[in-house]
Chain A
Amino acid sequence: MTIEQSVTVGVLVKNVLVDTLGVDPERIDPDADLEHDLGLDSLDRVDLLVSLETYTGSGLSDEELASVKTVRDAIALVEQRMASR
């Protein structure tokens, strides 16, 4: 994983949060809790992961889905998948 890739994944996650889920970009930072800070519920979590699957190219399990609590977790999950491809 290069620095460029990591930056790109961060932008990617942010774009999904803003464009698909309508989150205010000002509120997004790596430690933001998806539920408590961004107001996302379990349905949004599915939409976030489905959007990210498009980029990782592989399905994400319900367990992986449940493990994502923060923006940083989402970025890490995508990076991990992209690295293992």
Chain B
Amino acid sequence: MSVQAVVVTGLGPVTPIGVGARVFHEAQLGGRSGIRAITHFDARELPVRIAGEVDIPDSFAWASRDEAVTDRCTHLAAVATQLALTDSGLDLGVEDPTRVGVVIGTGIGGVTTWECAAHTAMERGCQALSARFIPMAMANNAASWITVRYGLNGPSLAVNSACASGAHAIAVGHLLIASGQADVVLAGGAEAPLTPIIVSGFAQMRALSRRNDEPERASRPFHRHRDGFVMAEGAAVLVLESAEHAAARGANVHATLAGAGSSSDAFHMVKPRPDGDGACRALAGAMRSAGLTPDAVSYVNAHGTGTSFNDAAEAKAVHAAFGEMAGRIPMSSTKSQTGHSLGASGAVEAVASVQAITSGMIPATANLDDPDPALGLDVVALEPRPAAVRSVLSSSFAFGGHNIVLAFTRA
């Protein structure tokens, strides 16, 4: 069996700074922040009252019937899928549906549905629960919804590795195509975690920034005075195809998905290994898989959450993986603008990584007016940097110690 090369032909980001590839890219380069006071629910009594919320454009609004039977997590994934398909120019009407797969990562799935069901059960008893509660809440709902909506019969599944889910989903899509199990995979992540209980849960862990009075300045990865991440919702789907399939239909190829590296910390449920060893092995694995040496990496899209622990461990990992090159490879954190959309973030950042290649612009890390000098990294701060971007590593290091790094190269 020959190993198929995998390319990216469609991008569908759904983020707090913009919906759709062009809008998202312009917002990135313009330094826009998607963080604001929470409007999804009354957060006035909570210690954390800010988040990255997505404004779904009216053209993607759903009829009341669809809203009633589908969790927001799936709605975000549905918008991302539609955008990615449009961007790819793929005509599913002429594709063999058994050769098109769907892999959608999510950290929590239909959590709004869970919370509403819990309220119903407590207030009115368990027999008042909706018969649709389980299917709406299950983490594979988005993947299933996409197969039904588009009539796709290839392999489909959900992937969960917490904040690495979206990137892992793309890596699984890569495997499905490279191994010949599919010609096309719609791969990405979706998350709609902005509920009182989930926001409060993360706040209780002391993982979140409490800069409630300056939301747009709160997400500050790699900053000397970072104080935690900012939660967000979002989704992104990429159309992945075998290079052969893309060439046969004359597709516009954005980039090659050249490989991936993954590892486990085997250390702690939420704390990264302080020496960054697990993350380092994922970075090294991605380079090996893509046939890259450290000096050939143009840009690293960091996991960069803005927690004290992550950014310090990530810096250690980058130093260990890149050696003397570490301080010279441009890095930046998309989360500085979008916030952290958990299981969607790896897919959103994959979009940003591909766009760095196609545009020749490395997006900046917002709010980074005082970089943490202890990290010793070249973090692109405040203003985007023009560069001949030939290859990008996109890192996701999750709660649970799941690490994955995707490698994209110029097509």
How many A-B pairs have beta carbons closer than 8 Å: the answer is: 36
Contact among A22, A43, A46, A54 for B64, CB-based, below 8 A: A22
**CB <8 Å contact, B131 and A46:** yes
Distance, CA A50 to CA B64, complexed state (A): 20
**Which B residues touch A20, using CB under 8 A?**
68, 130
Interface string of B120-155 (1 = CB under 8 A from A): 000000011011100100000000000000000000
**Which B residues touch A79, using CB under 8 A?**
none
Contact among B69, B128, B131, B135 for A22, CB-based, below 8 A: B69
Interface string of A27-50 (1 = CB under 8 A from B): 000000000000100111011001
**Which A residues touch B205, using CB under 8 A?**
none
B135 to chain A, nearest CB (A): 7
**CB <8 Å contact, B130 and A22:** no
Q: Does B1 contact A (CB under 8 A)?
A: no
Contacts A21-B65, A47-B130 aside, 14 further interface pairs with beta carbons under 8 A come to: A18-B64, A21-B68, A22-B63, A22-B64, A22-B68, A23-B64, A24-B63, A24-B65, A43-B130, A43-B135, A47-B131, A50-B128, A50-B130, A50-B131
**CB <8 Å contact, B65 and A43:** no
The residue among B64, B65, B130 with the most chain A CB atoms within 10 A of its own CB is: B65
**Which B residues touch A24, using CB under 8 A?**
63-65
Interface string of B51-88 (1 = CB under 8 A from A): 00000000000011111110000000000000000000
Distance, CA A18 to CA B130, complexed state (A): 15
Residues of chain B at the chain A interface (Cβ within 8 Å): 63-69, 127-128, 130-132, 135
Distance, CA A46 to CA B65, complexed state (A): 16
The contact size tier of chain A is 10 to 19
Give the nearest-CB partner of B65 in chain A. A22
Distance, CA A46 to CA B132, complexed state (A): 9
**Which B residues touch A46, using CB under 8 A?**
131
**CB <8 Å contact, A22 and B132:** no
Distance, CA A42 to CA B135, complexed state (A): 13
**Which A residues touch B63, using CB under 8 A?**
22, 24
Selected A-B contacts with CB under 8 Å, 8 pairs = A21-B65, A21-B69, A22-B64, A22-B67, A22-B68, A24-B65, A39-B65, A50-B128
Distance, CA A18 to CA B65, complexed state (A): 8
**Which A residues touch B127, using CB under 8 A?**
50
B72 to chain A, nearest CB (A): 14
Give the nearest-CB partner of B135 in chain A. A43
Distance, CA A47 to CA B131, complexed state (A): 6
Distance, CA A54 to CA B128, complexed state (A): 9
B121 to chain A, nearest CB (A): 13
**CB <8 Å contact, B66 and A44:** no
Give the nearest-CB partner of A45 in chain B. B131
Distance, CA A18 to CA B67, complexed state (A): 12
**Which A residues touch B130, using CB under 8 A?**
20, 43, 47, 50
A21 to chain B, nearest CB (A): 6
**Which B residues touch A47, using CB under 8 A?**
130-132
Contact among B65, B128, B132, B135 for A23, CB-based, below 8 A: B65
Distance, CA A20 to CA B131, complexed state (A): 12
Distance, CA A54 to CA B123, complexed state (A): 13
